[in-house]
Amino acid sequence: MKFTLHIWRQANAQSKGDLERHEIDGISEDMSFLEMLDLLNENLIADGKDAITFDSDCREGICGACSLAINGRPHGPGKGCTTCQVRMRSFKDGDEIWVEPFRNAAFPIVKDLMVDRSSLDRIIQSGGFINVHSGPKPEPNSIPVSHLVAEEAMDASACIGCGACVAACPNGAGMLFSSAKISHLGLLPQGQPERHSRVLNMVHQMEDEGMGACTNHAECQDACPKEISIAFISRMNRDYVKASLIEPDKRRGTLSNQ
Amino acid sequence: MALARGLTTLRLLNFYRTSIGKKIVVALSGAAMFLFLIAHMLGNLKIYGGQGDIDSYSHHLRTFMEDFFGYAGFLWIARVGLLAAVLLHVVTIVLLAKQNRRARPEGYRHKHRSARSIASMTMMISGPLILLYIIFHILQFTTGTIQPTPFQEGAVYFNLWHAFQVWWIALIYIVMMGFICLHLYHGVWSMFQSLGINNQDRNIILRWFSTLSAFAIFLGFISVPTLIWCDLLPPPSEEVMKEYQVSIDEGSVLVVKEGGRHEP
């Protein structure tokens, strides 16, 4: 297969980038998108040119390292898969393909297609700890969790933190990521003691990272390689209203009656 | 106590500072306007009861709870409430839009759309257009500042009938109701999602409710200009009009006589 690629090249976060045109031939339809880029890089290196920088790690869709907006869509064509799982048979021979980095103010470009997604780590960190029994290993069924709730929490925890939701959102919002992280603990009994402080801290951190606001386009849900539902965003909003307005701040002290 | 009140205010301010808090404000102010639109649409349907019906309805709005709030008192409370809702909605949306622009300093060269609906993509176009339309609508039919066609205060049927004889006025109203329908198609569902009411069980109901209510409001509103423009409603009778003009001038309460005729 033969392709014309328009790939974003940028030396670092400060410099101005632009699309660079590359032609590539001899691509097998069974190659993954990243293998195609590997081959392109080998050609570039052989020509004595600077290889294209992009993120990748496990290459089996579970680590969340790969990124790339392929033809404007994070993780490219196909539902529920990451860039590393995209095969070249998803394209037609002779196609023109645009490859751009994940775009967001909270994702500064490191080089070319590689972005710094530490903002997502900082959101998780701001969620803090959960109180767990630290004695001998507890009996696994000592805290009952109903099957469907466990499944729902598992759906939220399937988030691999790739940032596709933030990249896909026309507003650059981090709602799907944050809501998945807030919900997977918020749904389980083990996450209850810090449920309200967690949603407050994580939402405030998300805002501080400079991410946008949700307008319910549902682009995030569509781009998510783990197909996480925007129902978690609704759930996060509910939890946030409760934590910030309904739950008392000060829980102690006497009440004056005059 | 002052400190406690201060803390509560601070909590509200902190809430509003986040985009989720702002979205809740947008959703609630939108909900107020949505409820008003339903009431307005149902009120407009009074035109099918005849000239007397809609003119007396307009008068009734002013005398509603007159004993308590005074003449048009209830109406003014509703107007102030709606104005507050419009201001909160618009100001908050402007703040959110600025935040969104900052969040994506450089966009994608190759644009892609998968999940966005035409309605959700055009909220920032339909919104400002609706605002301009509301201003035009109030200037035309409430204050009578813009009078492209004969206008008499309180004579609702007379004003509507004359205005919608003109094709471009009827067209403005029909097209703008289309934009409101588009805005509601996304806005109403979005309101439930932002308020955290939506989930997997309810989504199908909320989605249908938003679609159907948007279209019901659209059809209810456009029926009046359409039917008048198509000459399907009779011209206003001066007799009925004078009756209401007099009653309004005197500020007296209308009495409904048997058979639906009204007199001061």
Which of A210, A208, A234 minimizes the C-alpha distance to A220? A234
* pLDDT of the residue at A63: 95
Q: What is the dihedral of CA A215, A220, A221, A223, to 10 degrees?
A: 150
Nearest by CB: A234 against B104, B105, B196:
B196
Distance of CA B234 to the CA centre of its chain: 26
SS3 annotation, B64-104: CCHHHHCCCHHHHHHHHHHHHHHHHHHHHHHHHHHHHHHHC
Count CA atoms within 13 Å of residue A233 on its CB side: 27
Q: How far, in Å, CA of A192 to CA of A186, rounded?
A: 6
Q: Does the pLDDT of residue B251 top 90, yes or no?
A: no
pLDDT at B252 exceeding the cut of 60: no
CA distances from A221 to A103, A216, A227, B189 (A): 17, 10, 6, 16
Taking contacts as CB-CB distances below 8 angstroms, the residues of chain A near B15 are 244-245
Q: What is the DSSP letter of A7?
A: E
User: Could you count the other beta carbons within 10 Å of the beta carbon of residue A227?
Assistant: 13
**Which of A100, A104, A235 shows the shortest C-beta gap to B110?**
A100
pLDDT computed for residue B237 by the predictor = 86
Cβ pair A217, B193 in contact under 8 A: no
CB contact (8 A) between residue B112 and residue A238? no
Strand partners of residue A74 = A69
CB-CB under 8 Å, B116 with A219: yes
B40 touches chain A (CB under 8 A): no
Look-up: residue for tokens 């390292």? A65
Min CA distance, A116 vs chain B (Å)?
15
Q: pLDDT (tens digit, 9 = 90+) per residue, B88-109?
A: 999 999 999 999 999 999 999 9
| Cβ contact A106–B194 (<8 Å) | no
pLDDT tens digit sequence for A86-101: 999 999 999 999 999 9
Q: Tell me, what's the pLDDT at B263? A: 46
Are the C-beta atoms of A167 and A69 separated by less than 8 Å? yes
With an 8 Å Cβ cutoff, are A72 and B111 in contact? Answer: yes
Strands A3-9 and A96-100 come out as parallel
Ramachandran class of B172: left when φ > 0, alpha when ψ lies in -120 to 50, beta otherwise: alpha
The CATH class of B22-104+118-263 is mainly alpha
Question: Whose structure tokens read 């328009």?
Answer: A6
Nearest CA in chain A to B192: A234
For A77-142, the DSSP string reads SSSS--GGG-BGGGS-TT-EEEEEPPP-TTS-EEETTEE--HHHHHHHHHT-------SSPPPTTS
Q: In the predicted model, what is the mean pLDDT of residues A157-172?
A: 97
Over residues A211-239, the pLDDT tens digits come to 999 999 999 999 999 999 999 999 999 99
The SS3 assignment for A6 reads strand
B116 and chain A in contact, CB less than 8 A? yes
Q: What is residue B244's predicted lDDT score, i.e. its pLDDT?
A: 64
**What pLDDT shows up at residue B200?**
94
Q: Taking the mean position of all CA atoms in its chain, how far away is CA B174?
A: 14
The structure's pTM equals: 0.91
**Domain architecture of chain A: domains with CATH:** 3-110 (3.10.20.30), 117-246 (1.10.1060.10)
Q: Count Cα neighbours of B144 within 13 Å in the Cβ-side half-sphere.
A: 11
**Token pair of A233, please?**
């965003």
Q: Is A191 helix (H, G, I), strand (E, B) or coil?
A: helix
Distances in Å between the Cα of A3 and the Cα atoms of A28, A41, A87, A89, B55 are: 11, 14, 13, 12, 70
- Token pair listed for A198: 């967690």
What is the b/e burial string over B210-225, where b = at least 16 CB atoms within 10 angstroms of the residue's CB? bbebbeebbebbbbbb
Q: What is the pLDDT of residues A50-80, one digit of tens each?
A: 999 999 999 999 999 999 999 999 999 989 9
For A7-44, write each residue's pLDDT tens digit.
999 999 899 999 999 999 999 999 999 999 999 999 99
Q: Which of B20, B27, B15 is nearest to B210 (CA)?
A: B27
B197 near A CB under 8 A: yes
On the question of pLDDT at B153 being above 90, the answer is no
